[in-house]
Amino acid sequence: MKFLVCISLVPDTTTKISFVDGDTKFNNDKVQWILNPYDEWYALVRALELKEANGGNVTVVNVGGADNDQVIRKALAIGADDAIRIDVTNDVDSFAIASEIAAVAKTGGYDMILLGKETINYNGSNLGGMLAELLDLPFVSYASKLDVAGNTASIERDIEGGKEILSVDVPFVISCSKGMAEARIPNMKGIMGAKTKPLNVVTPQGVGSLTSTVKYELPPAKSACKMISADNVEELVQLLHNEAKQI
Amino acid sequence: MAVLFLVEIAGGKVKKASFEIASYAAKVANQLGTEAVGLALGTASADELAALGIYGAKKIVHASNVAFDTFDAGATAKAIADAADKTGATVIAISQTLTGKAVAPRVAVRLQAGIVSGAVGLPDADFVIKKGAFSGKAFAYMKITTDKKVISVVPNSVGATKGEGSATVETLDLAPAASRVTVKEVVRQTGDVAPLPEAELVVSAGRGMKGPENWGIVEDLAKVLGATTACSRPVADVHWRPHYEHVGQTGVAIRPNLYIAIGISGAIQHLAGVNQSKCIVVINKDPEAPFFKAADYGICGDLFEIVPKFTEALKAFKASQH
């Protein structure tokens, strides 16, 4: 079975977010870039587990410039067989990224295209649905469990306050949430092996964006927490009623 | 023209998030000098659909084929895009629920429309929309540059505005696309409180509870408030609480009006899922717990004493309001 895992690079979770150029650009200075945790922990690791159980090949794909290669190698160190980087160096939106990946996926004959439920920087959750539509494939979102027998996958996915159990035949697109797999730490053999695994750089189609980010804004600073004595919970009730007006 | 919004239906009932998206669509329609039209797919009562008029919808188009009762992202997206064509809608508003997240991007591709996902405000005159970014640590303002536009709106971000009126309900003839997924079972939480992403009041607890057998005091508090219960990642991981209750970066991201965190230290990953809450109350025995820095109100002390007292005080308060 051929797996394609979409991996995005995001600022490390603990990054202090700031902006430059009149709040129109994210401040890259001193930012540590990591694999988007959901792409890595859930989508990539589950693809590797399925490959290890049933055989196959796991390819990771990233859209971005040569600066990304070091982080892409981490996906290879965790166990992906090969990588594709689509060489887009300007800022583009999710539609442009989906279109570039779809162009690569069309010719690859993949059985399953996996990705995380969202990225932790834009939180759009757009890519999976867009890819599925561009490739005319079924899309299962927020999956927490995935097993395969023959050409049929059994899946559990999150719904509001519950879960849905379903099955779907390959090929399909699936976005992965918690429960799918546990994070893996690359071992020394993996790290050494990653250096010689293929990382193919592909020229982009040059698809344009349909949206643009005009500016960024930080949330207003939170005023200091009002501390209430443990002996005076009635005061909290009054504050929630009179001041916060939430009860 | 027209602004089309998706009416989400679960078990034959209109979901709460759809009242809000009806209001949102009505406001966008008002800005554009047109009207808000809702699309309902599958089995739903005409009375319930007409009631969306209270929230500003002028008309509901209803494609009642039972095939729509089973969810498939591809078939639902096709139906929305077809309905947009039939109603001449140029703006499509969808709640960013789990259903919305699965269909909105597909709708956008079908209509060759730009999409803003995670909107927390209305579009301005240039169709620039404020949206959450960096897991609640910032906002981005995105402009949609295509003629057709898709907006996916975070539940409980703009609120439902109640007015008066009743929407006309018309049958819409839509042929459902063949579903390519087979739904075997749907498991939902029991009870009548709103599911987490839509809940306005949330009582959440973590490792400080010491064990699942102690959750009674959390449930009692939630009951008095009419709140939905939630939990932190560690307690979901050890199965003290069900997976769907887990809020935070890897769980559900929420923005309720009131979030009460009990025995949760407030790691950055937890805050990423709750930091957009309008009011945060933290009860924790550790004065250094990072959550206090993100809170509006805090009580430092033994939660096993404080929570039952707080519940009693709330009961007394609620009784005094009658």
Whether domain B3-171 has CATH 1.20.1050.10: no
Within a domain: A151: yes
Q: Which of A94, A129, A161 is opposite residue B244, by nearest beta carbon?
A: A161
Hey, what are B99's tokens? 């259903």
pLDDT tens digits for A193-228? 999 999 999 999 999 999 999 999 999 888 899 999
Could you give the angle at the alpha carbon of B131 between the alpha carbons of B128 and B137, nearest 5°? 135
Distance in Å, alpha carbon of A199 to nearest chain B alpha carbon: 28
| A238 belongs to a structural domain | no
Q: What is the ipTM of this complex?
A: 0.94
Which tens digit of pLDDT belongs to each residue from A22-44?
999 999 999 999 999 999 999 99
b/e burial code for range A192-220 (CB count within 10 A of at least 16 → b): eebeebebeeeebeebebbbebbbbeeee
Q: CA torsion angle for B72, B77, B83, B87 (degrees, to 10)?
A: 150
**What distance separates the 2 farthest-apart alpha carbons in chain B?**
61
Does the beta-carbon distance from B118 to A168 stay under 8 Å? no
Q: Which CATH code is given to the segment(s) B196-320?
A: 3.40.50.1220
CB contact under 8 A, B250 and A38: yes
Sign of the dihedral through C-alpha B135, B136, B142, B148:
positive
3-state secondary structure of B102: helix
The terminus-to-terminus CA distance of chain B in angstroms comes to 47
Burial of residue A156 (number of CB atoms within 10 Å: 0-12, 13-18, 19+): buried
| Shortest Cα–Cα distance, B77 to chain A (Å) | 9
Under 8 Å CB pairs connecting chains A and B tally to 272
Mind listing the pLDDT tens digit for each residue in B190-249?
Answer: 777 888 888 999 999 999 999 999 999 999 999 999 999 999 999 999 999 988 899 999
Interstrand relation of B36-41 and B59-63 (parallel, antiparallel or unpaired):
parallel
* Nearest C-alpha in A relative to B190: A161
Burial grade of A141 (CB within 10 A; 0-12, 13-18, 19 or more): buried
Residue B166 pLDDT > 90: yes
Work out how many domains chain A is built from and give that number.
1
Residue to test with chain B: of A33, A101, A210, A226, most B Cβ within 10 A: A210
A101: pLDDT strictly greater than 90: yes
Look at residue B128 in the predicted model and tell me its pLDDT. 98
Tell me the average pLDDT across B148-177. 94
Which CATH number belongs to the domain containing residue A106 in this structure? Answer: 3.40.50.620
Residue B60 confidence (pLDDT): 98
Determine the distance in angstroms separating the CA of B43 from the nearest CA of chain A, rounded to an integer: 19
Question: Does residue B11 surpass a pLDDT of 90?
Answer: no
Residues B103, A129: C-beta atoms closer than 8 Å: yes
The minimal CB distance from B180 to the residues A130, A168, A213 is found for A168
pLDDT single digits (tens) A117-170: 999 998 999 999 999 999 999 999 999 999 999 999 999 999 988 899 999 999
Q: B293 to each of A15, B92, B289, B306, how far by Cα in Å?
A: 17, 38, 8, 20
Alpha-carbon distance B251 to B269, whole Å? 10
Q: Whole-angstrom Cα distance, residue B289 to residue B72?
A: 43
Contact B298/A225, CB-based, under 8 Å? yes
Given this chain, do its domains B3-171 and B196-320 carry the same CATH topology? yes
The Cα of A221 is separated from the nearest Cα of chain B by a number of Å equal to: 10
- The per-residue b/e assignment along B95-127, b for 16 or more CB within 10 angstroms, e otherwise, is bbbbbbbbbbbbbbbbbebbbbbbbbbebeeeb
| Contact list, A240 vs chain B (CB under 8 Å) | 258, 279, 281, 297
CB-closest option in A162, A214, A237 to B128: A214
- Buried/exposed B194-231: b ≥16 CB within 10 Å, e otherwise: bbbbbbbbbbbbbbbbeeeebbebbebbbebbebbbbb
> What are the boundaries of each domain within chain B?
3-171, 196-320
* C-alpha–C-alpha distance, residues A101 and A61, integer Å: 7
Domain that holds residue A172: 2-222
Q: With respect to residue A52, please indicate whether it lies within any of the assigned structural domains.
A: yes
> How many other C-beta atoms can be found within 10 angstroms of the C-beta atom of residue A190?
17
Distance from CA of B169 to the nearest CA of A (A): 27
